[in-house]
Structure 1
């Protein structure tokens, strides 16, 4: 009975908002990147009851001659796409919409975990800085403890806030040897002091003092008594001036006489699951002139819909079937060689921009018939390159794969079209797609209309490859 009342109340409030009856506030929102103002007419009493932010703002504003309060909110996006949900979360927190903040965090963790992983360093930094982002912060910490390289090998590691680094060092189950953790912490501290000499032999006492100040908050969370004897000699001794005299003395005592009592606090060793942690496997042969082993691991994670991406031991073999420079660039080449072959990845290197685009087809290609196959297992993507900070994954939302050999065309919905000769025809393009909602190219290269695409959205390819995805034995 209560549920029915709540449902009807929600419906009534929606109708009240849409009708505009008795609206006493007009909220003007400026788009961040577009010269456009969106106006929303709302009821102050409802917003004030749901958000302390709006209550405070409305109390500060007086009514105009039409008995309307006007609130201006600059630099807020009102577009609802997967890649701006995180921005919406940040805005919701600023507006003190606590229930929405919790809901959006759960949505990102449960339904958009791949995006969180692809933007991991930014997400973790923000989640640490915003107290209310506990759900995402816990999600990030869980990944970091299991896969430390996710953050320690990130290009943004040196800019990680001190508090965020300390929160990682506090984790008892961080799966990394203490000597390696120490090296990362030293590296982070040096990045805060760009004037330090490169050669440690040339360091002065002042140099060590500067580094010690930078690491003051981190040093108490290093498990110095968990270092191997070899690491004590090779990694602690060169930086002994960073440690307090008593601590360094106790490390030496434990090194020489392990059973002797000392006064320094001994933190428990980390709970390493394996005595020897696996390292990233870069020895797996990958016959590609376009993608790297790291790219292949990322694609394999998408195929398996892994919340935590593979970082070693790829479960799949990428068997090269077609290469443009070897077999030809006509679309029919793909149909002829890949006829009746399922589970394939198409990789394209775009001429002129260096973008790496592609798509995964779980179905068989067919060289002798046109067919349209709906699927929720296909996806399209653009991969991280020197000019592109993060990869983009666009998963199927009731999407399809189109196999049209008679028209020299294959496509993934309307998100990625390959037509004719991929090198000379310059007819390939990407379009905004409801089937694959996340655009894999920037807006300037997205075609608004396939029947008359803009010249800038059309592209040819420098090289392309097609791989059969095989389960590795």
Structure 2
């Protein structure tokens, strides 16, 4: 029987790292000079744990101090802290890391050839953080196809695309997909989408790669079609032309017939007119559309919002239902616009006047100056003529993902201690101290966020958080726009 003492070994090696004794390598991590961190480590340990480090250290000569210096500018200090602890101790703690940092850690693990960590991080994402993968789907999918070792995440993405192809085709990042990634999608036999629709997406993708093409197809020249044909050269062979409906052949292929080889276009016509006549073109098998149709993707009902997107609305709805995985389609709730600042006025009193006796409301704020989107969900009725502290565990506040913010932040009420402050006479509507709305939201700068006994997390960066439960110069803000929605089941 073999006894194993891995915990003691892990602790001893961790202490060796922390001691800095007998280090012969200096690793400089980070790109900006002010943020660079230097790690004193042992080449023998890193070489034994990573083929990347073995190759690098073999290439690098010792300097005059008998130290090998390696620079890793593409890896952040936060990420490398996890990497170096894993290398020495064999332990990884992800609980306090944002998902975007964990994804950066996955990319770094691939670069450093840490196979065990690559597999662990992918499994963790798929099993525990699938919602983040879905919300950042275009980026994740593109990366998974660029990195061969990301097979677990790639399989996860493939399954989503096959079942819900609009997840990628309707993404705002679709037109930036690399050609090889698009081709990998077109090759899928189980892609649950009509061929005519796939053709339309491919044509639009090609046009996006050649923005000089005329907008009006009637004004296209032969050179224009030739230009688009060159862009789509590798994509066109993967379209299932003989799976088009007759109507789609006429309406969708005919206008772009110059993209196709003469023999193929002729055979498409032959099949249209005399289906049983033999042809010489290669006929790709029809896609395997499931007999049991998956829940149809409902065209999103317009939000009529000037602030949030449908993706934001799906995320908020999942929070209302306390789902760990955000909805990616078929929103179970309708967002009915009740109040808009630019239409109805920016005074807090306006909210009380219009929303009197209305429950289950979401207020959305676009912060003036930095584009932050903050908000809160109130399951209780607002009251126009009554100052009251209201108690609920079901309210929450949040900040939403934007171009400047990688992830949304959700902060739930965890103590029903006056979770909602209903104070119309004081021109105040607040979610504890986590989000306080006071006065005229646009002309006055009195709104702020603070640490709160009622809500679990801060929804703004600490530099914008009040530390004494009152507005300060840095923490106070006004809004460009705000909206209040009534949330109702569809």
Give the TM-score, by structure 2 length. Answer: 0.78
Superposition map of 1:388-403 within 5 A = 388=403, 392-396=407-411, 403=419
Aligned to 2:29: 29
Q: Which runs of 5+ in 1 are unaligned?
A: none
Residue 427 of structure 1 aligns with which residue? Answer: 446
Q: For 1:417, which of 418, 430, 435 is the aligned residue?
A: 435
Q: What's the C-alpha RMSD, in Å, of the aligned pairs? A: 4.0
Is the 8 Å Cα contact of residues 382 and 391 (structure 1) preserved in structure 2?
A: no
**1:301–1:310 contact (8 Å) kept in structure 2:** no
Asked whether the equivalents of residues 356 and 381 of structure 2 are also in contact (C-alpha less than 8 Å), the reply is: no
Match of 1:447 in 2: 465
Equivalent pair of 2:315/2:326 in contact (CA under 8 Å):
no
Per-residue deviation, 1:430: 4.4
Which residue of structure 2 aligns with residue 73 of structure 1? 72
2-side partners of 1:17 and 1:398: how far apart?
A: 41
Matches within 5 A, 1:39-438: 39-79=38-78, 80-273=97-290, 278=296, 280-283=298-301, 290-291=307-308, 295-304=312-321, 305=323, 307=325, 309-312=327-330, 314-318=331-335, 325=344, 328-329=347-348, 344-360=361-377, 368-369=388-389, 378=396, 380-382=398-400, 384=402, 388=403, 392-396=407-411, 403=419, 405=421, 410-411=430-431, 416-421=434-439, 423=441, 426-430=445-449
Question: How far 1:170 sits from its partner (Å)?
Answer: 1.0
Alignment match, 2:91 = none
Range 452-461 or range 109-118, more displaced: 452-461
Deviations along 1:168-217, whole A, 9 cap, x unmatched?
00112212110111111111122223333333334333333322222121
- Equivalence for 2:7: 7
- Determine the C-alpha separation between the residues in 1 that align with 2:212 and 2:340: 48
- Gap change, CA 1:321 and 1:235, over 3 Å in 2: closer
SS of the equivalent of 2:34 reads coil
Kept in 2: contact 1:92–1:98 (CA 8 A): yes
1:455 is paired with a residue whose SS is: coil
Q: State the Cα distance separating 1:42 from its structure 2 match.
A: 1.9
Q: Secondary structure at the match of 2:27?
A: strand
Counterparts of 2:356 and 2:166, CA distance in 1: 39
Partner of 2:83: none
Q: Is the 8 A contact 2:363 2:482 kept in 1?
A: yes
9-18 or 457-466: bigger deviation:
457-466
- Decide whether the 8 Å contact of 1:331 with 1:419 is kept in 2: no
Q: CA deviation at 1:22?
A: 3.1
Partner of 2:489: 471
Q: Which moved more, 1:425-434 or 1:183-192?
A: 425-434
SS of the residue corresponding to residue 357 of structure 1 reads strand
